[in-house]
Every structure is written in structure tokens, then in C-alpha cells.
Amino acid sequence: MTFFDLGGKHALVTGATGPLQRALAVGLAEAGANVSLTTTHATQPEEVQANSILNECWSIGRTGEALTVDLMDEAALSAAVDQLEGSIAPIDILVNASHAAVIKPFLDMTADEVGATFNANLAVTMTACRVVGRRMIDRGHGRVVNLVSILYDRGVPNCAVYSATQGAVLGLTKALGIEWVRGGVTVNALGIGFYEDVPGPQQDPELRAPLERYIPVRRLGTGADLQGALVYLASEEAAFVDSELLVVDGAISAHG
Amino acid sequence: MPILDRFDLTGRTAIVTGAGSNLGREFSLALAEAGANIVGVGRRPEPLAETGAMVEAKGRRYLARPTDVTSSAEVNAMVAEAIAAFGSIEILVNNAGGGGAGRGKTLPELTDEDWHEGIDTNLTSAFFCSRAIIDHFVERNYGRIINVTSGWGYRASRQRFMYPIAKAGVISLTKSLAMSYARDNIRSTCIAPGAFPHELTPELEQRAGMQPAGRFGRMQEIGPLAVFLASDAAEYMNGETVLIDGGAIAAGLTPAGLAPVFEGEPVLEEGARR
């Protein structure tokens, strides 16, 4: 394929502990990129997961590292990225895939839970954008892709705070895209609908079947569905796509 | 299948309307580069033939089919001929369009003919082509329709009616097609290009500084987006419109990004009054 080759690029995928993040990382690796990952906690399950994703990228012939770093700690992330860029290469592609869907009635959420939801979706994305984006701007080149749920635009019960964080990430995406595009850095978002392995009503066995009938494409999304859009946005070919959201949702947001 | 292979279009055939020039030629060349054969559709035979020579130079098959896409009879005949020539069609790119109708007139001055010309060229043509091909796509349980709108499909401008209205209609047509034929494995998506001038005049270059990206789109940047959307790598994208405008609409005080982001005075559409 003449287009979309990411050979020689170095991508950093944050929050790389879930199946969606695995698909994003492996998609980039298949397209030629070296892929590094971040996880937050130095716990065995997270590190096993991250190393397993890293192994899959390595098995395709790529290199990369897994960092355990708290994305709320800008100084720590900055130090970790310095080390990573020294040992692998400068980061060309930042995928903010750290994502936490929180499903709970609005009135039942404590102030701490509200804060934690914003931190897990918005604050960590902003920190990564500040740390990695600064380096990209200095080098005059970069691609940032943020994961956003289409709940930024649609209301469903028990997702109010989560929806608000998604709107915030999309607003950040559009504004940063404009602020940075002349510096050679594009910022875009990948929009997800109802996906396998992501919390939501689709995980309820009773709701899953009617939901699948309701989605025009008649199935839930999987991580593999996001790979094409991510590789496109990360590629040189997408240099003029900026501040844009690519929704990959089987047309559910076209539904009347 | 590894991701780069999922972008491959080898063995597929695409009908591209407005294939003789500008974005239509770029779509044709990029799809051909990714492996597709091309049916080039447009009014004038000579530019279609030029596109054809470039497609064939990439080793793909090409059929030039001069057609007025605002005539349903001509469109139906074109689609039938394309299917007969290639055996099957997998991709339809509804690119034909143009902003000339009624340019410079105020609302009371616009004639019925201006209205119909603007709507027919930019919206009815996509409807006719989609309607003509859909049975073939349903029968084969496979099809990709890529419509082409514009930043004008999102926003308005003074004393400009048919073009923005028709282009908004194209975004809506994309969703209707997506909803109606998702179960038949037909995907409908839409490309919204920002400003892609086919030649850079000194006056235009001056305006480039008012684009968020500090430049206009380059012709060769448009085609790969159509390759992605036409490919199986976009299998779960349906009904979606993708802007490729260097952030113009996101920044957007005007669709073409003519509003100054950093400095300078806003530039009005040429011929705009009031």
C-alpha cells in the first residue's frame, strides 16, 4: 500500500491496559510504527496487560517500551518521556487512549467521584498533550489523536459526568488543533459508539441484543474497527485533517 | 488481516463523477493507486480522457463515460454501462458539483433556473447516481458510497443560497443512505474538503495566511482520504462526514477559514453584497 505507512515513526499510546488500547497499539505497529505504552499503576494486572500488548507489537518486528507513570503528575511524565525518547526515538504520534467510562446516576456521584472521572478522562489527556505536545511543537511535527465517546453529543441516563468529560476532551481537541496546526502538529479525535469490552449498556445481556439491532450496522464495534481511522489520522497523508472528530460507530449517531 | 492490507482496493471498480478535473481527478488517481479500476464520469470528454491516461499509467483499467449527472436518464445509462463493462462496481464517489449558479445575485434576483441549477448540480446528481447504483450494491451485498460536500455544507454566507443548501443536503443524503442500507453491507460516508485551490494565484496566496493552517489544502492530500473511506479499514464508519480543511470549520468564522485567526480583516466572498 502506497499510503498510510508509519514506518520509522514512534507512537505513544496512553492508558494501554484494555482491549481497545491493544487494538490501537497493534494497528499502529502493523502500519510500521514503533509503539510505546503508558500504564498508571505498578500493579501486576496492569503491567501484565501492558507487557502483553508490547509483546504483540514486538512480535510484528517493532520496538517500544511500557512506562508505568501517573499521568496526573506532569513532572513524572516529562521525566519518563525524556528517558523514552532517549532510548527509542522522539514521539511522532500521541494517542490519548486513557479512558474511563463511569456509569452511575448523577445524584449518586460524590464530589470525589466527579473529580476522579474528570481526571481519568480529561486531566490525563491534558497532561500528556502538554508534555508530549511541547516536544512535538519544538520539533515542528506531530500527530495527536484523542479517544472520545459519542456521548459528548448524546444523552443517555447515568452517564452525565462521563458525557461532560467527553465534551471537554473534544473541545480540547478542536482548540489545540487550531493552536498547534501551524506548528506542524495536528490534533484530532476518534469517536466511538457502543463497543465490545467498553463499559456501557451493551454489557448488560438483556440490553445487548436490542442494542445490536438498533445499531444500523447491526453489531458492536471492536478495537479493530478503530485501526483504520487511527492509522489514517496518524499518517503523513492526513496532514490537512485537523481539529476533526472521526466517528467510527456503525452509524448509530446518524440514527433518528 | 494486517491494517495496511485492509486499505487495499485491488480488484474493485469505482465510479467517480466529475473525474476530469480538480478533486475528482485526485480521487480517481488515489483510488487507482490503491488498486481500483475507474469509471470517469463528467460532461466533457477531453479532461476525462486525460484522467484516463493517468489512471492507465498506474496499470488500472479505465472507462471514460461522458454524462450529464443532472439527467437521471443519462445517469441510469451510465451506471448500466459501467456495470456491463467491469462486471461489478464496488465504489461510487459522488464528487460532481460546483458553486457557479447564481453567483453574485441577491435573493430576489435569483431565478428558478438558478435555484434548480445549483441544487441539481450539487445534490440531485448525488441522489441520481446513488439511486441508480443501489440495486447493484444490494444484490452483491457490498458497496461504498462516498459523497463530497464542502465546509459550506456546515455554515452560511451572505447572499449565497444554493451551494451551501445543496452541500448540507449532501451531508444529510449520506446519513439517509447509511441508515437505509447498512444491513446490506453498504457504507455511505462523506468528505468535506476545505479550500483546495487548483492553482495558487498571488491573491490566493495572500489569503492562505488567514487559514488556520496557514495554507490551503494541496491537491494530492484529498485522495488518500477517499482511499481510506472506500476501503475495508473503514468498515464500521457509516453516515459520517470527515472534514479535511486544516481546522477551518473548527476555527470557523467562515467555512473556508477566511476569517483571520491571527491578524487582518475578514475577506468576504467575491461578489457578495450587503
Report the distance separating Cα B152 and Cα B164, nearest Å. 5
**Residue A170 identity:** L
Compute the nearest-CA separation of B150 from chain A (Å): 14
A256 inside domain? no
Judge whether A108 lies within some domain.
yes
Nearest CA in chain B to A213: B183
Could you report the per-residue pLDDT of B124-151, keeping only the tens digit for each? Answer: 999 999 999 999 999 999 999 999 999 9
Domain count, chain A: 1
- Beta carbons of B214 and A181 less than 8 Å apart: yes
Please report, for chain B, the start and end positions of each structural domain, with discontinuous segments joined by +: 3-251
Give the residue among A153, A135, A124 at the shortest CA–CA distance from A81: A135
Which among A231, A239, A253 has the least Cβ separation from residue B3?
Answer: A231
CB atoms within 10 A of CB A137: 16
Between residues B207 and B62, the one the model is more confident about: B62
- For chain B, positions 195-254, list CB contacts with chain A under 8 A: 212-214, 217-218, 221, 224-225, 227-228, 231-240, 242-247, 249-251
Pull the grid cell for residue B37. Answer: 479500476
Q: Do B247 and A243 touch (CB under 8 A)?
A: yes
The order of strands in the sheet holding B186-193 is B62-66, B37-42, B13-17, B91-94, B143-148, B186-193, B241-244
Among the listed residues A51, A86, A91, A52, the one whose alpha carbon sits nearest the alpha carbon of residue A67 = A51
Asked if the model's pLDDT at residue B263 lies above 50, the reply is: no
B242-264 mean pLDDT: 67
Cα distance between residue A146 and residue A192, in whole Å:
11
Instruction: For residue A248, list chain B residues with Cβ-Cβ distance below 8 A.
Output: 234, 236-237, 240
Return the residue of B nearest to A229 by Cα: B234
Q: Among residues of chain B, what percentage have pLDDT more than 70?
A: 92
Q: Length of chain B, please?
A: 274
- In this complex, the residue of A32, A225, A237 whose CB is nearest that of residue B236 is A225
Out of B7, B212, B217, the one facing A181 most closely (by C-beta) is B212
Q: What is residue B258's predicted lDDT score, i.e. its pLDDT? A: 46
Say yes or no to pLDDT of B262 above 70. Answer: no
The CATH number assigned to the domain holding A85 equals 3.40.50.720
CATH superfamily of this structure's domain B3-251 = NAD(P)-binding Rossmann-like Domain (3.40.50.720)
Task: List active site positions of B.
Answer: 163
Please check whether residue B271 touches A, CB under 8 A.
no
Please report which helix (H) or strand (E) contains residue B147, including its range: strand B143-148
Q: How confident is the model at residue B272 (pLDDT cuts 50, 70, 90)?
A: very low
8 Å CB contact of B243 and A244: yes
Mean pLDDT (chain B) is: 91
Q: B8 and chain A: CB distance < 8 Å anywhere? A: yes
Answer whether B4 sits within 8 Å of A256, measured CB to CB: no
Size of interface A-B (CB pairs under 8 A): 152
Question: For residue B176, what is the nearest residue in chain A, using CA coordinates?
Answer: A254
B242 and A241 in contact (C-beta within 8 Å)?
A: yes
Q: Do A254 and B240 touch (CB under 8 A)?
A: yes
B236 contacts on A by Cβ (under 8 Å): 217, 221, 225-226, 248-250
Nearest residue, CB atoms, A232 vs list B228, B238, B261 = B228
pLDDT at B118 over 60: yes
Could you tell me if residue A4 is inside a domain? no
What is the edge-to-edge ordering of all strands in the sheet holding A142-149? A66-68, A34-39, A10-13, A93-96, A142-149, A185-192, A245-248
pLDDT of B266 over the 80 cut: no
User: Would you say residue A255 lies in a domain?
Assistant: no
pLDDT number for residue A7? 97
β-strand partners of A144: A94, A187
In a domain, A228, yes or no: yes
Whether A248 maps to a domain, the answer reads: no
- Residues B226 and A221: beta-carbon distance below 8 Å: no
pTM above 0.80, yes or no: yes
CB contact under 8 A, B231 and A218: no
* Per-residue tens of pLDDT for chain A, all 256 residues: 899 999 999 999 999 989 999 999 999 999 999 999 999 888 888 889 999 999 999 999 999 999 999 999 999 999 999 999 999 999 999 999 999 988 999 999 999 999 999 999 999 999 999 999 999 999 999 999 999 999 999 998 999 999 999 999 999 999 999 999 999 999 999 999 999 988 888 999 999 999 999 999 999 999 999 999 999 999 999 999 999 999 999 999 998 7
Residue A136, domain extent: 10-239
In chain A, the residue whose alpha carbon lies closest to the alpha carbon of B261 is A178
The ipTM assigned to this model is: 0.95
The reply to whether A67 falls in a domain is yes
Note whether A154 contacts B: Cβ–Cβ < 8 A: no
Residue A251 lies in a domain: no
pLDDT tens-digit readout, B152-203:
999 888 899 999 999 999 999 999 999 999 999 999 999 999 999 988 888 8
